[in-house]
Amino acid sequence: MQSLAEKPQWAHLLHYRLHPLRGRYLSQNDSPEFFLATDGKEDPAAELKADLNAFLQTSQADNESAQCQFPARYHWLKQQLPEVAFSDQRCPEFEEWRDELDAHALTLIFPASHINSPSSMYGHTLVRMDRADDSRSKLLAYSVNFAANADPTDNELVFSYKGLSGGYPGVVSVMPYYVKTNEYQHMEYRDVWEYRLNFSKAEVDQFVRHIWETKDTYYDYFFFDENCSYRLLALLDASSERADLAEAFTYKAVPVDTIRALWQNDLVENTEYRPSAASDMEFKSTQVNDEVLAAAQALVDSDEDIESLIAALNAQDQVRALELSHAYARYLAIKKKQASPVLRKRTLALLSARAKRPATADFADVPMPAVRDDQGHLTSRAGLWGGQVSAFGETQAYSDLSWRIAYHDILDLPSGFVPGSQIQMGQWDLRVWEDEGVKLQRFKVVDVLSLSHQTYFQRPVAWAVTAGAERFLGAEAELHGYLKVAFGRAYETAFGRWYGLAETQLLADNQFEDGYQLSFGPRAGWLLQHEQVQAQIEANWQPLNVGDDTVRRSLRAEGGYALGQNLQLRIKAERQLFATGAGTAGVSEVSAGMQWYF
């Protein structure tokens, strides 16, 4: 019995993990109903004994037996103990639910990262249970999702805190796939990658049994580690002796890293790409001339007669304008939440006008990205830098050791990541001075930057928020805490991305006159994200301030060069100016470094 309880698959079925602090196994399921033994959460052997005794009971009422409650455990124990004469109890409720799912294959679904949604900045994963007949609509299949059961009245700050601290119960849910598709492709406008898994029918059946026994329980939800992607790996582990995926994710589970784990364990059969409605609309807009774009927008924004608005266009351009206008109307109704009776009436009129025209729009399909999200650089990063700082006629050399937990900054290798986006959490920079010893130069708690650019139909707000502790340039500079928030616009051109933000900064330390400085000013820059070369120039000026009269300005130029998929050369030059009533002081820094992603 003890040897059976020590088998990895028993641990997978009960979600036992070696606790990093307690040094013993503990189930991550936090629902008492998930265990039959009183100490089942902490004792795999005691739980196995209690389960076995319960599974041996006979003459149980329909649906009331332990066999019906935990069919995956029962199935596994029957295989492990063929000499034991188990008597199968009737479980019509489970069988009806299983038959309704009709699962024959599993596909991992990855709606790509969405920087403007705090709950899914890193992306999200769920599992679709496909039917045997691939010709049947996949939208009608059922999907398995794990998510925090959040209080809808919590604001984003409370949501973030509870998500980080395990303040929400995480629950497994089963719902029609079209519900999630509508949420991600239409409501959230996110591209979707599908990864068909090579699970056998027997493994799929065990997955379905395990979902049944977990769907009414809960796990404490942690944004960084025990999140949606981690839990799905654990559910797959419980379904297949071939899978041992979750064990590798102790402190963080980024969705793209969990997908890489599937590839590394040879569990992916093939992939498919499904562009979002937004990607489809934007790609179509690149295939028409300015007259069609103007007509498509006027068809929605104006109340003029539809036929007169497109009368000047040829037959195919009329069709293209109508299809683009319909996509634009959906964008306004769903993305911008501008649903109204007027817009609905206009949308129906557009569809009616399109239906009267036999011509085809002949739009090309959105091409599949050359690099999938899981093929980009790895999400942790270490760096070694060397440089020097010059001020008041003196120069001091230094070396930096840098480590970042996750995930991507705007000058990292861009392939596989959303252009113009940056999400960093947990970055430490230790600086070794030539004459001043070792100091913490910077600690970024969170650093998010979204430079989503303006398009003909979409007008996203560029924004940034970052918090942590850092020093100004110079060996004598003291550490101060900071919170910086900015909003503005970004524009994509053939020569790179240009942006302008209005930024407010709150700095706190006794080096400031009143112990803090609250300032406001412009931040502007240029960004180039090429596969091989990356570059950024940014200026920041904080002329309006309280708490300290020092006016700060800075100019920074930084470049990167890809040396491999997970290796990058960086160079940087920066100058900071501090203007007070006594004059202006300047400090300059130049540096170069190597960054390794792992």
3-state secondary structure of 593: strand
Torsion angle of C-alpha atoms 381, 382, 386, 389, degrees rounded to 10: 60
The DSSP bridge partners found for residue 590 are 388, 573
Given this model, what pLDDT does residue 120 score? 62
Does position 118 have pLDDT exceeding 60, yes or no?
no
Query: How far is 461 from 490, CA to CA, in rounded Å?
Result: 8
What average pLDDT does the segment 371-392 reach? 94
pLDDT tops 70 at residue 187: no
Please write the tens of the pLDDT for every residue from 61-76.
999 999 999 999 999 9
pLDDT above 90 covers a percentage of the chain that reads 78
Q: What region does 197 belong to: left with phi over 0, alpha with psi -120 to 50, or beta?
A: beta
- With b meaning 16 or more CB within 10 Å and e meaning fewer, what string describes 179-209? ebbeebbbebbbbbbbbbbebeeebbbbbbb
Element holding 14 (H helix, E strand): helix 8-14
Query: pLDDT by residue (tens digit) across 344-358?
Result: 899 999 999 999 999
pLDDT of residue 185: 59
Q: What is the pLDDT of residue 149?
A: 79
Give residue 337's pLDDT. 63
Report pLDDT digits (tens) over 256-311.
Answer: 999 999 999 999 999 999 998 889 999 999 999 999 999 999 999 998 999 999 99
Residue with tokens 């650019």: 453
What pLDDT is stored for residue 183 in this prediction?
72
Confidence of residue 119 (pLDDT cuts 50, 70, 90): low
Measuring CA to CA, how many Å separate 479 from each of 130, 440, 518? 55, 8, 16
Strands of the sheet with 142-148, listed across from one edge: 219-221, 168-176, 142-148, 126-130, 105-111, 192-197, 268-274
Q: What is the structure's pLDDT at 134?
A: 74
Report helix angle 71-80 to 201-214, nearest 10.
130
Mean pLDDT of 6-28: 90
Tell me how far apart the alpha carbons of residues 428 and 413 are, in angstroms, rounded to a whole number: 20
H or E element in which residue 117 lies: none
Asked whether residue 477 carries a pLDDT value surpassing 80, the answer given is: yes
How far is Cα 253 from Cα 238, in angstroms, rounded to an integer?
Answer: 18
Mean pLDDT, the chain, whole residue set: 92
Q: What is the mean pLDDT of residues 226-255?
A: 92
The rounded distance, in Å, linking the Cα atoms of 482 and 328 is 40
In one-letter notation, the amino acid at residue 418 is: V
Strand pairing report for 192-197 and 268-274:
antiparallel
Residue 186: which pLDDT band, with cuts at 50, 70 and 90? low
d(CA 76, CA 558) in angstroms, rounded, equals 57
| Token pair for 313 | 């266009």
**3-class DSSP string for 145-204:** EEEECCCCCCCHHHHHHHHHHCCEEEEEEEEEHHHHHHHHHHHCCCCEEEEEECCCHHHH
Q: What is the rounded distance in angstroms from the CA atom of residue 287 to the CA atom of residue 140?
A: 32
Q: What is the pLDDT of residue 111?
A: 87
- Beta strand 394-408 pairing with 16-18: unpaired
Give me the pLDDT at residue 32, please.
Answer: 95
Of 332-341, 436-445, 465-474, give the lowest mean pLDDT range. Answer: 332-341
Q: And the tokens for 173?
A: 């849910």
Mean pLDDT of 90-101: 96
pLDDT bucket at 336, cuts 50 / 70 / 90: low
> What pLDDT was estimated at residue 342?
85
Interval 452-467 mean pLDDT: 93
How much is the average pLDDT of 556-574? 97
What is the spatial distance between Cα 142 and Cα 204, in angstroms, rounded to a whole number?
13
What count of other Cβ atoms lies within 10 Å of the Cβ of residue 380? 18
pLDDT score for 116: 64
The closest of 263, 231, 353 to 299, measured between CA atoms, is: 353
Question: Residue 528 in contact with residue 534, Cβ under 8 Å?
Answer: yes
Which distant-in-sequence residues (6+ apart) come within 8 Å of 234 by Cβ?
Answer: 12, 15, 28, 245, 246
Q: How many CB atoms lie within 10 A of CB 279?
A: 18
Element (H, E) at 245: none
Query: Phi-psi category of 311—alpha, beta or left, where left has phi over 0 and alpha has psi -120 to 50?
Result: alpha
Helix/strand/coil for 394: strand
Compute the chain's Rg from CA coordinates: 28
What is the rounded distance in angstroms from the CA atom of residue 201 to the CA atom of residue 207? 10
8-state DSSP, 335? I
Q: Are 71 and 94 in contact (CB under 8 A)?
A: yes
Find the helix or strand (DSSP H, E) in which 560 lies.
strand 551-564
Residue 588 identity:
S
CA distance readout (Å), 424 to 225, 352, 411: 16, 47, 12
Overall size of the chain counted in residues: 598
Residue 383, pLDDT > 70, answer yes
The residue-averaged pLDDT of 421-438 equals 92
Instruction: Decide if 355 contacts 315 (C-beta within 8 A).
Output: no
Tokens of 552: 């700060």
Q: Which of 206, 142, 218 is nearest to 180 (CA)?
A: 142
Structure confidence by residue, pLDDT tens digits, 120-162: 677 889 999 999 887 677 888 999 999 887 777 777 667 777 7
CB 202 within 8 A of CB 72: no
3-state secondary structure of 318: helix
The per-residue pLDDT for 276 is 87
What are φ and ψ of residue 323, in 5° steps?
A: -70, -40
- pLDDT value at position 501? 98
The lowest-confidence range among 13-17, 199-203, 416-420 is 416-420
Least confident of 230-244, 285-299, 329-343, 484-498: 329-343
Q: Quote the pLDDT of residue 122.
A: 78
* Higher per-residue confidence, 154 vs 440: 440
